[in-house]
Structure 1
Amino acid sequence: MSTPTLAVIGAGPKAIAVAAKAAELRTLGVPAPDVVVVERAGVAANWQAIGGWTDGQHRLGTSPEKDVGFPYRSSLVPRRNAELDERMMRHSWQSFLIDIGHFAEWVDRGRPAPTHRRWSQYLNWVADNIGMTVVSGEVTEIGVDDDQTAWMLQTDDDTVRADAVMVTGPGQAEKSILPGNPRVLSIAQFWHRAAAQELITAERVAVIGGGETAATMLNELFRHRVSTITVISPQVTLFTRGEGFFENTLYSDPTHWSGLTLSERRDAMNRTDRGVFSARVQEALLADDRIRHLRGRVAHAVARDERIRLTLLSDTGAERSETVHGFDLVIDGSGANALWFVPLLAPDALDMLELGLGRPLTGESLQESIGDDLAVRGVIPKLFLPGLAGLNQGPGFPNLSCLGLLSDRVLAADLRASSAITDRSIRSTDERLREEETSTDEHQSVR
């Protein structure tokens, strides 16, 4: 029987964590899928200036010890999981620092958060050590084969056939509310200017977004020549992310997550992840009197009189208010989009997904469908969406908080569509036989 192939879109931490765990399983003689990663820019590109999400010089918001093997509690190989974790330690952050001769210095400096660029070097080091297979190219279409038993990923130069697909990454950083207007910068445009050391000079600057993407931009803007910086977000204020032991445990260990009600899960995620700034960034904001906050969602943007006028909608009790504000420069930092891949779905793939979901494909329907293996329930071949797994499976899966658990969940899944279809057929046959037996028994009892 041939080895199944798992294709991963995006060569970031999640792809590398799964590829590293699969490689170590094979060294133990345990069957594991062939992991093929399709990447448009380069390994760990989103942690470098080339990816458009950073200039590479800002600090990682998560502890670097939450690396590709964290939390080192593998559950894939009974009686050999400790051995598997030991092998994964060869790909740890500490092992990387030892390899490049910086471990003692890092410890003596108090274990500081590394820059994004250094984190990307770590990820590349792991990918090189395991010989990760990378197909260079941007995925232009996600389809299925004629039998709907395999995924077909189309790039400009290649087609990758896979038994299962995992989608990763935050999407494209090039989008903005007014594309092409020099007074409106996308995330990528902002960071490209920062990487080129181009200082922004403006009186009134607006940053759209209240999450960590916008927070990192604010951290960068502090050194630019701007008079006022207005943060626009739907929240009533700029909340600080909870970073204590109990909050962090929710991300590292989702054991009790499923026991929470849906409203409790949403509340926990809102308090610790969505639309919140890290304590480090908030401390910097307090020290800078140029920062302002406006509550609302941007409903409309127009260029007029050498300014960008933003129309904001906000709910005030039972009423909805609408206000207009003018800025010299607007930075659209509204952040990542976990549904970025949906426009790439071919009609047959979209039909297959909606049939499995039993309803139209939306962000809500996908989130609520994510199973224990981080794949969409009821869909064969498997489609893993860890970026949407937070609500059902735990808030650590969409980010860097439990990459080792993520790789366990994905690699424990049955990736063979044929076997899943066979199992489904067997179950259907068994159910039909049971129904026939029940019907016979009832008929005999009537007689």
Structure 2
Amino acid sequence: MNPAPRRTLAIIGAGPKAVAVAAKAAELQGMGVDVPDVVAIERNTVAANWQAVGGWTDGQHRLGTSPEKDVGFPYRSSLVPRRNAELDERMTRHSWQSYLIASAQFAEWVDRGRPAPTHWGWSRYLRWVADRVGMSLITGEVERISVDGQRWALVTGGQTVHADGVMITGPGQAQRSILPHDPRVLSIAQFWQRAARNELIVAERVAVIGGGETAASMLNELFRHRVSTITVISPQVTLFTRGESFFENTLFSDPTDWSSLTMAERRDALARTDRGVFSARVQDALLADDRIRHLRGRVAHAVALEERIRLTLSTNRGGERLETVHGFDLVIDGSGADSMWFLPLFSQDARDLLELGLRRPLTGDALQESIGHDLAVCGVEPKLFLPGLAGLTQGPGFPNLSCLGLLSDRVLGSRYPDAAPDDSIRSTRRSDEHQPVR
């Protein structure tokens, strides 16, 4: 009898989540544990979104999460009975501290008070881990995801990658904006491109759309530019500060009790700690700058008129919808990542498969509410892992950097269906034939 074929997990994006899963899989394979081969598909480079090339930063701003929440955090593995301590010890080889020691930076980092690294510094750490574990990487952009028998088929360039499971990561494209062809409206990518070139913005009235960390990073950058007023536009009643005490942080690193909360309680916790909130560090900077203003509302319409960008804001006040118009010299669309950016990639047969598993139309709410313990969409085979949508059902740490080690446990511990006969699966290159990261 032929041995069962090795399974393949394809990850779209080569950021922290992909690196964490690849590192955990490499250590498990080193322990003789059967886990899928991991291959990442990335259009730029490892950790691109933490560098200027990714369009989400200029690389010079500080990481909002402690770097000690690295690819193995919280180091509480539960995949291998009686050997989990060994697995955690193996993962410490890829920790933030190990990276600093290997690069002769540890003593200086401690002496400086353990500062948060820049985004560029964080990307260097992730690339170091990816290189150490020989993460398989395909350079290219996924153009289509379809179903081929009992596997996914991902088309990228002239190559088709077949996988038993797909994990989708990343915030999507940073190039979108409400008026994409007007130079007075900047997308996230356009803003950071200018920052990376040290081009100062000179304007009287600037608007930043968005109340989350993406917008917060932009405000942090705008402080040094020559602007008279900066208006933050968000649907929240004010600019809330992210909870960063022990009790809030525990929700991210240990979601054991998350499932015992009602959906209303979970949504409330997410609103207070993760979505549409600024870090305490950014809020302190805002308090010291009297140019900052806040406007509550959602942008319903945008038009260029009389040498200004006119934004129509819609708000709900007292049960009535109110619309107001405001003019700005420059608008920066920092409304944040699109958690559903990947949907256009799915072919019709893949969409049909998802709707069949969901038993309802394919929407963002339907996907969020269907994410199971392994961070995959319940009822859908082959496996589709969506950690970016797992906050509501599994805990607020999974969409971000707060529990990468736990994320990798969940994904690699997933149970796959029995393998199909060899003749029902079109052959493809084994992931160990892909070029490792260098």
1:272 partner amino acid: T
In structure 2, the residue matched to 1:19 is 22
Asked if 1:354 corresponds to 2:389, the answer is: no
Confirm whether residue 98 of structure 1 aligns to residue 101 of structure 2: yes
Cross-structure match for 1:440: none
The answer on 1:32 being equivalent to 2:35 is: yes
Shift of 1:94: 0.2
For 2:275, what is the secondary structure of its paired residue?
A: coil
* Contact 1:370–1:392 (CA under 8 A) maintained in structure 2: yes
Aligned to 1:133: 136
**Within 1, Cα distance between the matches of 2:285 and 2:263?**
34
Alignment-mate amino acid for residue 194 of structure 2? R
The answer to whether the Cα contact below 8 Å between 1:12 and 1:45 also exists between their aligned partners in 2 is yes
- Report the Cα distance in structure 1 between the residues aligned to 2:308 and 2:146, rounded to whole angstroms: 43
Residue pairs, 1:248-267, within 5 angstroms:
248-267=249-268
Summarize the Cα distance change of 1:41–1:417 in structure 2 as closer, same or farther, 3 Å threshold: farther
Kindly state the Cα deviation for residue 279 of structure 1 after the two structures are TM-superposed. Answer: 0.3
Code of the aligned partner of 1:305: E
The corresponding residue for 1:53 is 56
* Amino acid paired to 1:312: L
Structure-2 separation of matches of 1:198 and 1:417 = 56
> Could you tell me the percent identity over the aligned residues?
77
Distance 1:318 1:208 in 2: 24
Deviations 1:343-384 (A, max 9, x none): 111000000000000000111000000000000000000000
Q: Alignment partner of 2:419: what SS?
A: helix
Aligned match of 1:428: none
Alignment-derived partner of residue 216 in structure 1: 217
8 Å CA contact retained: 1:170, 1:340? yes
What does 1:219-230 align with in structure 2 at a 5 Å threshold?
A: 219-230=220-231
Alpha-carbon distance in 2 for matches of 1:218, 1:35: 37
Indicate if the aligned counterparts of 1:137 and 1:157 stay in contact, CA closer than 8 A.
Answer: no
Q: Does 1:279 align with 2:250?
A: no
Query: How many aligned residue pairs are there?
Result: 418
- Separation of aligned partners in 1, 2:218 and 2:29: 42
| Structure 1 equivalent of residue 192 of structure 2 | 191
TM-score (norm: length of structure 2): 0.95
What one-letter code is carried by the residue in structure 2 that aligns with 1:69?
Answer: G
Aligned-partner SS, 1:373: coil
Runs of 4+ in 1 over 4 A off after TM superposition: none
Structure-to-structure mapping, 1:113-192, within 5 angstroms: 113-145=116-148, 147=149, 149-192=150-193
| Letter paired with 2:228 | S
CA RMSD of aligned residues (A): 1.0
> Tell me, what secondary structure is at the counterpart of 2:142?
coil
Separation (CA, whole Å) in 2 of partners of 1:157 and 1:63: 40
Partner of 1:296: 297
For 1:393 and 1:407, the matched residues in 2 are separated by 14
- Specify whether residues 417 and 350 from structure 1 end up closer, same or farther in structure 2 by C-alpha distance, changes over 3 A only: farther
2:394 paired with 1:387: no
Q: Give the partner amino acid of 2:365.
A: E
**After superposition, where does 1:61-76 map in structure 2 within 5 Å?**
61-76=64-79
Cα separation, 1, equivalents of 2:143 and 2:199: 33
Shift of 1:404: 0.3
How far residue 90 of structure 1 moved from its aligned partner, in angstroms, is: 0.3
Give 1:200's aligned amino acid.
I
Deviations 1:257-304 (A, max 9, x none): 000010000000000011110000000000000000000000000001
Q: What are the superposed Cα offsets for residues 296-337 of structure 1, whole Å, 9 maximum, x if unpaired?
A: 000000001111000000011111110000000000000011
Q: Give per-residue Cα distances to partners, 1:143-171, cap 9 Å, x unaligned.
A: 111x2x00011112211110100000001
Distance 2:418 2:156 in 1: 23
User: Which one has more relative contact order, counting CA pairs under 8 Å at least 6 apart?
Assistant: 2
Q: TM-score of the superposition, structure 1-length normalised?
A: 0.93
2:86 is aligned, of 80, 83, 100, to 83
For 1:416 and 1:383, locate their aligned partners in 2 and report how far apart those are by CA, in whole Å.
13
In 1, the alpha carbon distance for the partners of 2:419 and 2:82 equals 29
Alignment partners' CA distance in 1, 2:27 and 2:120: 26
- 2:145 partner SS: strand
1:330 matched residue in structure 2: 331
Partner of 1:8: 11
Deviation at 1:417, TM superposition (A): 5.7
Structure with the greater alpha carbon radius of gyration:
1
1:418 partner SS:
coil
Larger proportion of helix: 1
Partner of 1:24, secondary structure, is: helix
Does 2:111 match 1:108? Answer: yes
1:312 aligned to 2:313?
yes
Contact 1:185/1:330 (8 A) holds in 2: yes
Task: State the shift of 1:416 in Å.
Answer: 4.3
Q: What is aligned with 2:44?
A: 41
